[in-house]
Structures are given as structure tokens and as C-alpha cells.
Chain A
Amino acid sequence: MQAFDFSDSEYDIREDLPEAYRETWRRIAAPGSWWTGAERVAIAQETRNAVSCKFCQERKKTLSPYGMSGSHDCASLLPERAIDAVHRIITDQGRITQAYIDDNAAHNMSEEQYVELLGICVVVFSVDEFHRGLGLALEPLPKPKPGEPTGYRPAHTTRETGFVSMIPAAGATGEESDLWDPKRTANVLRALSLVPDAVRDWFVVHEAQYIALEDMMVNYGAIGNRPINRMQTELVASRVSAVNECFY
């Protein structure tokens, strides 16, 4: 049986969603730029562990998220700092700071590794949240593919905004020319661009779950033949963002 088979589900789920999710699973299982396939799947598993982690629940209640010691509910081969980063991204992302990322970089988790880890976390979390939303069982994680990370880093990056290095707004050229139109981009598009494949990973699910990037500024009506229009879409998006206290 292939992954993301919704044929037994009570819902009629359009085919581009499971197609995007299958492609996402295939990409997660393969070696990335800074983590092996086994490590990437372990990051995906840790994303699931974080959701019910007791330590994260306690830490979320504290005034300072950096003063409490303890152990996460985890079971993986990842370094401790990587486990902590995954759990913070999933359960307390609003209190991640520049100092936290810099401290990780000074202790053997580079900003490149952090960005790739973040990309895996958020895409797996997003796929899982779709399942949780509909009350469906989570898809088993893929089996990792062998091989070594490529170590690829874009030639031109800058650190003029945000906590991590990014490709400049006008710098999506050459190998990165598929990421965005150099004349028009947004910080959220650039956010993961230190690891270009992490941006490509989110493109895979973005269009299926939300709207095509090229339609974002022009389509305010129906979205293809979906039974949801753009206004309803933005209502859901803004409610989720408000609950998460996302200023962006």
C-alpha cells in the first residue's frame, strides 16, 4: 500500500494533497544538505515527540524559557541541542531568540543545521496537523535513505534581517533562481534560504494546502474548484496565526 492512502477515509481528499505529502516523505528520507537521511527522519520523529513532551509543557508556563533544566520526552540519535531545538520550534517558537541560535552555533549545531532542522520540523508538523485536524491516524515516517549530506551552501548570503543568514532579496539567481523572482520576494520566503532545499520542501506542500505562490497577490476569489474561497482561507489562516501569537 502506498503512503498517504486516504481511500478508506470518510473524507473525499483531493489527490494533490497526498501527492504533495508523498513527495515530502520522499524528500525527508533522503540525505539533505547538513543532515543524513537517518538524522532527518529522527528530526521528523522528534517533531512528533515534542507534541506530547511533558518538559515542554512545563517550560511553556515559565517566565523565561531558558532558565529551566530537565529532559525532553525523546527517543532518537540526535544531539541534545538538536532535540531541544525541535521541541522549542514545535511548542514555544515565539520565544526563540538570536542568542539561542548563536549559542547553538557555538556548541556544534551550525546555523545551516538549524535551518535545515527547522525546515524538516515545520513540514512534518504541517502534514501531521492536517491528519490531526481531520482525526486521521498519522502516517508512519519514511525509512531513511543512505548517503551523506551534500554540505551545499548558497554562494551569496547575508545576515541583515532575522536570526539566521539568508539569500539577499535580489540574490535568488544561478542555482537558486527557482526560489523567487528577484524583483519580488518576502521575508518568509527568504527565511529558510540558507538551505535552499528547505525552501523547496515547503513549496511542495504550500500550494496543495494553501494557494500557489504566483496567485497570492492576485487571486481573491475561488481557488480552482476547491469548496473554499480566498476570504475563508485567510480567515482560517489569521485565526491560526493569532492563536500562535505570530506578529508576522
Chain B
Amino acid sequence: MTAFAEALARRQPDVLAETRTALANAAGPGLLVEAAAVAANFQRMVRIADSTGIPIDARSVAYGADVREELNLNRFGSAENTPPPSLWQRLFSPILRTVMRRKIRQMGRAHLQQNSTP
């Protein structure tokens, strides 16, 4: 699935054809259609973000700081659009993420309960 997404984004027609067939064979044509839709969606989103120079949202700067550093995402040219995290934000990044993860789990459970109630 990631190979298919990558081939689409890299505009590699031969690889795209190969990965399309491989994904359909491995996971079914239904999942292939969904993967194509999501990949197409994010071909749009990245262009909106970069073409308008938006920074990462303030609330996300702190809790993703260490992950972005670990993945070396700061090498991307569009990283210039986001001010670097402060020392405080870097130090508290793992703690904030733990809190956020717990909060997201709670929200997810509430969503599941809401949708499973007849």
C-alpha cells in the first residue's frame, strides 16, 4: 500500500502499474480504490499547505517536536514556514504527546460507543 502511494506521488507510471496490481492482488480491489482516493486527497493537501506557506498549527508544534526531529523532517524546505520549537516545547514534547494520546483514546472510545448504540 505504501509502495503504491509512493509510486503515485513520485509519478512513476511503470512502478504505479506494478504496485496497483500487487495491492489489488494482496488486499483486494476495494482497498486499492480507497488507497487511490486517500493518496489523491493528500496530493491536494500538501499543495495547499506549501503554496500558502502555512506553519504547523500552534497546538501541534509542541507535541510533535521530538518526532519531527527524529524523522529529520526539518530538512524539508517547507519547514522554514514553521518557527522552530522553543526549548520548553522540545522538553515537554513527549509528556504532551502522552497526554494527547490519552485524550485521543478517550475521544475514540466515545466515538465508538456513540456509533455502536442502536
Interface residues of A (CB under 8 A from B): 10-14, 17, 51, 88-90, 93-98, 115, 118, 121-123, 125-130, 132-135, 161-164, 186-188, 190-192, 202, 205-206, 208-210, 215, 217-221, 226-228, 232-233, 235-237, 239-241, 243-248
Q: Is B48 an interface residue (CB 8 A)?
A: yes
Contact indicator B78/A192 (Cβ below 8 Å): no
Contact indicator B39/A236 (Cβ below 8 Å): yes
Partner of A192, one of B48, B50, B57, B104: B48
Q: Is B95 an interface residue (CB 8 A)?
A: no
| Contact of A246 with B46 at beta-carbon distance under 8 Å, contacts A129-B40, A221-B108 already known | yes
Contact indicator A218/B108 (Cβ below 8 Å): yes
Partner of B20, one of A51, A134, A233, A245: A134
| Contact of A93 with B34 at beta-carbon distance under 8 Å, contacts A187-B55, A219-B111 already known | no
Cβ < 8 Å to A, chain B residues 26-70: 27-57, 68
Nearest CB on B from A238, distance (A):
8
Q: Is B107 an interface residue (CB 8 A)?
A: yes
CA distance A172 to B107 in the complex (A): 25
CA distance A198 to B40 in the complex (A): 18
| Contact of A133 with B111 at beta-carbon distance under 8 Å, contacts A187-B54, A228-B34, A239-B2 already known | no
A-B contact count (CB 8 A): 217
CA distance A125 to B77 in the complex (A): 22
CA distance A130 to B44 in the complex (A): 11
Contact indicator B54/A162 (Cβ below 8 Å): yes
Contact indicator B46/A248 (Cβ below 8 Å): yes
Partner of B36, one of A12, A115, A134, A246: A134
For A162, A236, A237, which residue has the most chain B Cβ atoms within 10 angstroms? A236
Q: For B43, list chain A residues within 8 Å (CB).
A: 125-126, 129, 240, 244
Seed contacts A188-B45, A237-B39, A247-B82; 16 additional CB < 8 Å A-B pairs: A13-B33, A88-B51, A93-B46, A97-B53, A122-B51, A126-B44, A129-B8, A221-B112, A241-B42, A243-B10, A244-B42, A244-B47, A245-B78, A246-B45, A247-B74, A248-B55
Nearest CB on B from A197, distance (A):
15
Contact indicator B76/A245 (Cβ below 8 Å): yes
| Contact of A135 with B76 at beta-carbon distance under 8 Å, contacts A90-B47, A98-B53, A118-B51 already known | no
Q: Is B81 an interface residue (CB 8 A)?
A: yes
Contact indicator A135/B1 (Cβ below 8 Å): no
Mask for B1-36, Cβ within 8 A of A = 1, else 0?
A: 110111011110000110010000001111111111
